[in-house]
Structure formats: C-alpha cells, structure tokens
Amino acid sequence: MDYSTSLLRLTFLALGAALVLIVARSAFRLPLAIDAPAASFLHGAGGCTRFSPWACRSPRTEKSPPRRPSHESDVPRHPLDPLTVTEISRARDLLRAHPPFASAPSALAVHALALDEPDKPAVRRWRKGVHALPPRRAVAVVRFQGESHVLAVDLAAGKVAPLPVPASGYPTMTMDEQNSLCAAPFGDPAFNATIRRRGVRLDDVACLPISPGWYGPAEDGGRRLIKSQCYSTEGTANFYMRPIEGLTVLVDMDTGKVVHISDRGAGIPIPAAKNTDYRGAANDDDDGTDRFGYQTVRAPSMEPAPEGPGFQIEDGHTVRWAGWEFHLKADARAGLVVSGATVQDPDTGARREVMYKGMASELFVPYMDPTEAWYFKTYMDAGEYGFGLQAMPLVPLNDCPRHARYMDGVFVAADGRPYVRENMICVFERYAGDIAWRHSESPITGMDIRESRPKVTLVARMAASVANYDYIVDWEFQTDGLIRIKVGLSGILMVKGTPYSHMNQVRQNEEMHGTLLSENVIGVIHDHYVTFRLDMDVDGADNSFVRVEMARQDTAPGESPRRSYLKATRHIASTEKDARVRLKLYEPAEFHVINPTKKTRVGNPVGYKVVPAGTAGSLLDPEDPPQKRGAFTNNQIWVTPYNKSEEWAGGLFVYQSKGEDTLATWSERDRPIENKDLVLWYTLGFHHIPCQEDFPIMPTVSSSFDLKPVNFFESNPILKQRPTMEKDLPVCAATA
C-alpha cells in the first residue's frame, strides 16, 4: 500500500471516529450518531472489523439483524430496576445543562451512568402494590476538559450535585474510546513504517488497546495512557495467534496521539496462520463436510415441560422459581447482578431473606512475563474495560438451551445516549441427569424402596468477551436452598511470538515465561481472579461471621481405643481482620454467615456457609505494583460492614490507580462486624500454565463456589420435592 492510500484510509478513520461511526461491531449496538432518531441509536449497526470488536480497522456494511424491542417505553417497576431509556436521556439532558459542562456539552464524555440505588432499608421495606417506588436517582462518572467528575443526578428534582472523586486513577474506558484507540497507531507515520519493515501490510494489521497498569509517575506523567499491540489478520480470523511480537505503542488517550513506540521484536517471525482459524466453516472442505472426519456430537435438547418453563420473569427483572425469588439485571461494570434473593420456607411458607445483592466486583488478570512487551499486562477487566460492556449477545442453542429466556442490557454511550445490548443474560432450567437425592434400601432389610429426585436447577448466565478471553458467569439456584456461583474461562489465549519452533532450540534453563504451543508461539503463564461481592442478609440484615475450625484432637490415655479424632471449634469474628481468610488444605474450616438472633427449633443459629473452590492464591510480591492494585486478592475471603460506597474491590477508579482505594485498604480500618449488616467477599482464583490443548482455541475451564444453607431450614427442603413421572415429560413428534 502506498503512503497516499494509507493517508486517505487514516483520514477516513479519523472522520469516522469524530462522528461516532467507528463502533465495535453490530453486537455492541453503539449509537450511530448524536442526532440519530431513537429507533436508530437504540439499535445501531455497522462494525470495525470482520473479526473482533477490539481490533478496529476499516468500517464495513453488515446486514442488520432482525429488529427487537427498543425498550423506549420501559418504566421502572422495582426499586432496583436499572435506568430506563427515558431516564438515561433525562440524565443526559441534566448533565449537559449543568455548569461547567453547559459551556461545551459536546466535550462531555460519559464513562458511567447507572442507578443510584435507594438506601437499603427502604428497598427491604418496599412491597409491590403497597409502596410507591423510592425517588429515582443516578450516579454519573464523566470526563470534561481533562478532568474526572462523579455526580449525583436527581431525576425527579432535576438537580445535579458533585460527589467525591478518588485520589488517583481514572474512570472505566468508554466503548467509544476502546474502539477509536484501536485505530490510533495508524495515524503515526513511524508506526506505519515499523509495520512495513516487519513485512506486514497495513490492511492486515489489527491492534488491541491494553491498559498499562501503574508503575510510578515516571511512566504516566499525569496523563491517561494506553498501550497498543498489534497482530496480523492475514489468513485467519484467529489473529491472536499471529502477534507482531515486541511492538508496543504508547498512546495518549485524551489526544489519540502516539507518545512512544517500542520495537524489540526484530527477528521474531509472525506465527503462521495455518490451522488457527476456529470458525466452523473454516474447518469444512469445499463440499461442506468435516475435513477431520469426526462424528457429529449432538447437543441434547433440554425441552421444557408441556406447560412451559417452570420459572417466571415478572416486570422484566423479577425471577421466580421453585420457591426462589430474586431481582436480576445487567450492569455495565459488574455484568450480571442478583438482588433481593429470598427462598420460601417449605414448612411455614414464609419468604426468607438470603442475600441482598451479589455480583462480580472485579477481575484481576496478571501475566507472568516481566519483559518489556509484557510486564504491564495486569488487567482489571471490570474497572478498566467494563465487564458488562464486554458482554456479547448470547447464542441461542449453543450458549443457552432452546427454552431459555433472555434479558437485554440498556447502557450508555460516551455521548450520554442509551443503547441496547441484546440477549445479554439468559435464564433457563437445567437438568443434566444429576441426582439431587436418592436412597435405595438393601434387600437384607426386606423393604423394597428406591427413592430418587432429579437435580433440576435454575441458571442465570452471561458471557463477556474481553478481547481474546471469554468469561461465562452462572448463578445457579437449587431446590435445596443452595446457590452456586460458577465462572468458566474460554476463548483464545494471549500468546507471545518466539523464534523457536521446537523445544530443542531452547537453551537449558532459559526462562520462556510459558509453554511452546506451536511453531513460534508461546502461551504465557497467567492468573485469573474473580472477586465477588456478596451482601448477605440471612433472615435479616444483622449477621455475624463464624469460622468453624477443624483440627485433630488427641484422646486422653485410656479414654478410647482411638488415638485421635477431628474436633470443630466455632469462633465468631469481632472485627474485619478477624474475618480475613487464606485457605489452607491442612488447616480446614467452614465459614458461616449466621443470624445470631434467629434459631432453629433445636436452638442452632440459622445461617449460610460459603463452600470454597477455585482456590488459587496470588504468589506475587505484595509490594509488586500490580499486586498492590490487586490487593483484594491477598485473601480468599474478606468480611466488611455494609457500606454502600464500597462496591468495587479495586476502587471506583481503577484505571492507572495506585491501589490506595481497594478492599484491602478498607479492611485495614478493622471495623466491628459482629451482629452487623455484613458483606462477604470471595475470590475465585485460577493459575493457568498453557498447554498445547489450549491451541489455537482454549477449552472452557470452570470453577465454582457455593452459598449453602447451614441450619437455615428445619430439615432438607428436597423432602418436599416429588419425583418426576413419565407424564411430566414433553411428548415430542417430528415436524412436517
């Protein structure tokens, strides 16, 4: 490509960005233009690239999907319902009219706009049909002329008031920024020359925006910065497997200008495209048959009962199933939020509180390569990129079964306009052939008893595609009162280019920081941590945290033929530091959240316990800059007193933050937590040493933890569940 052609292309991209025409792809549904009619900006079209919403090149025309409800007529029906299209537009008007933004409203960038949830006591008291909705308010995070602002927006009174701004860091990136910054390197002649020296056509280059972390003032210079690394898309949709290794571009986010180019990859070949494409059509021969000769594995069809699904979704957000009731909504930062979870007591019929609010608070993904092109890859996927903003529409029949019902998310673009993320959450009943409970009586008793109950559960699911990695988050509700929170890691590895094509070329004791997966491809070692904020209200708001420690107890001489046994000792945590937990295999314990004022018939305090799993812990130096920012992963369990402002484990402003506003710093206050309104924090952790089976795509790896009733019910609730009979099942017949 000659220079004039490249310049023309770059000019077109710049104009497109100015008109907000560079958008991720049709799945992102970003606004078309500031003055577009409502029906258009709620269902935008267009896309940056045929491959990825992150790797922006030139826009192209795509066929629009079928029209869906625009949500323009939605009204709130529950105190925790997300902001509606009308409310977002109202908030936008108020912000743009507020000084100093009114002087140049087009310069106002909205980074977050969400419901300012009413005070917790008011929400807990509210009853549909009895009480009016509390006043609707919003919280906005905006940037204006180089400054960040946090503002309270009273939608009814039409007032805007400033709120405190964090001491360091910047707001979550907007989708508009993430998209436009993909193209920023192409505006720099030195970058284009570097690409040409690598032997890559500019038309075949895709670049990703990578958050830089924080490594001292010498790096940031008081500016919002982003680093960009690039890939060759030639010959495959899976460009992640074709890194232009060692090339890192530092960009000023506010100006879009290239600040610095580091190119330390000369001599490292770009890995070949062969056998990396993951699309189904790419693996078929010309006649459409499977080139590998594998037999087709059919996914089972989980059909609903003849009368339809056994769950209901009322007023768009309230889910009811098998005694469970909870509020479900999409959130731009957290992704999926479950609130007001209650369960019906099978003995009394009373509705009992379990959890006020649960959500993913932060994701920390540090890569374990300290070299120039990799050391800064220590992502905070929720606070830097927006976990919900990256949630893609779920694929029916593949992401969710046929009878699933879907929820959209209504989010806010940088100009303050609402847009719809379609099919962001699905809800479905799951039966995988598992058993909830069974017992068969031995023939020696003379009793012919074979009792069994199928394990049918309800799942609320979302999936976020944060560049190469896909995260699947399930909230699964069970008939025994258990809530299982599961995270699946899928997608594609982030890999490093290398001159090596075989392990026999690697010098003895050479540190590769990963595994050689294919010719010229290293899968870099990394961790994933997902920290959940769980505001537990077990039969009421005032709870206590109990550590039930298990240890060997030796018997006294002559006491028993046994020499030892396991003894359980209960310790009630009085302050936050008492409740910090680092899991240890040979120092086992249970961790209960109890209501000390509510007792069972025989006198046990009612409670729920967290059942740990996914227990990888960070091995980084606590003073390592990324670990200081990710200090909320120093323990697997934390307990804090309820504080409405303490929602985000990494702090409100995570981008380039210094780590002084995290869960770890809040906990240092060592506040009283006994018989208080408590928040439990749990971190699922994964160490990932890549292997060849992760190439060129990664099979899903999952882990979960449970919130399990402990003395909450008088007996096992499954006792009230009747067995499944043949008449309960659908009768299927072939269609014409």
Name the 3-class secondary structure at 93: helix
Element (H, E) at 665: helix 663-667
* HEC assignment per residue over 427-449: EEEEEEEEEEEEEECCHHHCCCC
Is residue 174, in this structure, part of any structural domain at all? Answer: no
Is residue 236 domain-shared with residue 307, that is, in the same domain?
A: no
- CA dist 628 and 638 (Å) reads 16
Is residue 10, in this structure, part of any structural domain at all? Answer: no
Which residues 6+ apart lie within 8 Å of 241 measured at CB? Answer: 271, 273, 276, 492, 495, 518, 521, 695, 696
Task: Quote the tokens at residue 403.
Answer: 């009878």
Is residue 153 domain-shared with residue 214, that is, in the same domain?
A: no
Paired with 249 in beta bridges are: 228, 261
Which domain-ending residue is among 256, 283, 310? 283
Task: Quote the tokens at residue 183.
Answer: 């193209």
Determine contact, residues 227/207, Cβ cutoff 8 Å: no
Burial of 390 (0-12, 13-18, 19+ CB in 10 A): buried
Query: Which residues are the active-site residues?
Result: 381, 469
Task: Residue 455: give its domain's CATH number.
Answer: 2.70.98.20
pLDDT at 439: 87
Task: Quote the tokens at residue 9.
Answer: 């292309």
Which domain-ending residue is among 119, 139, 165? 165
- Residues spanned by the domain of 202: 180-283
pLDDT at 309: 77
Is residue 66 domain-shared with residue 148, that is, in the same domain?
A: yes
Output the DSSP codes for 169-234.
-BPPPPHHHHHHHHHGGGG-HHHHHHHHHTT--GGGEEEEEE------HHHHTTS-EEEEEEEE-T
Neighbours of 336 (CB within 10 A): 26
Is residue 126 domain-shared with residue 268, that is, in the same domain?
A: no
- CA dist 301 and 298 (Å) reads 9
Is residue 40, in this structure, part of any structural domain at all? Answer: yes
- For 76-104, give one letter per residue: b (16+ CB within 10 A) or e: bebbbbbbbbbbbbbbbebbbebeebeee
pLDDT at 303: 60
- CA dist 64 and 27 (Å) reads 10
Long-range contacts at 658-661 (CB < 8 A, ≥ 24 apart)? 658/168, 658/169, 658/214, 658/628, 658/629, 659/214, 659/625, 659/628, 659/629, 659/630, 659/631, 660/167, 660/168, 661/166, 661/167, 661/168, 661/169
- The CA distances from residue 78 to 84, 311, 328, 411, in Å, are 12, 19, 11, 18
- CA dist 342 and 122 (Å) reads 17
Is residue 620 domain-shared with residue 583, that is, in the same domain?
A: yes
- CA 5, 6, 8, 9 torsion: positive or negative? positive
At CA 363, angle to CA 184 and CA 278, rounded to 5?
65
Q: Name the residue among 5, 23, 26, 8 with its Cα closest to residue 421.
A: 26
Determine contact, residues 384/413, Cβ cutoff 8 Å: no
Is residue 307 domain-shared with residue 260, that is, in the same domain?
A: no
Is residue 503 domain-shared with residue 463, that is, in the same domain?
A: yes
Task: Residue 35: give its domain's CATH number.
Answer: 3.10.450.40
In whole angstroms, how large is the CA radius of gyration of the chain? 27
Task: Quote the tokens at residue 607.
Answer: 């409670």
Number of domains in the chain: 3
- The CA distances from residue 352 to 345, 346, 481, in Å, are 7, 11, 11
- CA dist 646 and 638 (Å) reads 13
Which domain-ending residue is among 165, 191, 218? 165
- CA 503, 694, 617, 377 torsion: positive or negative? positive
Helix-helix angle 175-183:3-18, to 10 degrees = 170
Determine contact, residues 211/379, Cβ cutoff 8 Å: yes
Neighbours of 149 (CB within 10 A): 20
Paired with 511 in beta bridges are: none
Is residue 457, in this structure, part of any structural domain at all? Answer: yes
Q: Name the residue among 727, 710, 471, 691 with its Cα closest to residue 595.
A: 710
Is residue 208, in this structure, part of any structural domain at all? Answer: yes
Low-confidence ranges of the chain (pLDDT < 70): 1-69, 281-308, 730, 732-736
Q: Name the residue among 158, 5, 20, 18 with its Cα closest to residue 90.
A: 158
Is residue 487 domain-shared with residue 611, that is, in the same domain?
A: yes
Is residue 264 domain-shared with residue 393, that is, in the same domain?
A: no
Is residue 21, in this structure, part of any structural domain at all? Answer: no
- CA dist 241 and 695 (Å) reads 9
- CA dist 602 and 604 (Å) reads 6
pLDDT at 388: 97
- CA dist 712 and 323 (Å) reads 15
pLDDT at 282: 57
Is residue 655 domain-shared with residue 511, that is, in the same domain?
A: yes
Output the DSSP codes for 323-351.
TEEEEEEEETTTEEEEEEEEEE-TTT--E
Is residue 199 domain-shared with residue 327, that is, in the same domain?
A: no
pLDDT at 137: 98
Task: Quote the tokens at residue 74.
Answer: 């939605």
End-to-end CA distance of the chain: 55
How long is the chain?
A: 736
Is residue 606 domain-shared with residue 564, that is, in the same domain?
A: yes
Q: What is the DSSP letter of 81?
A: P
Q: What is the DSSP letter of 543?
A: E
Is residue 275, in this structure, part of any structural domain at all? Answer: yes
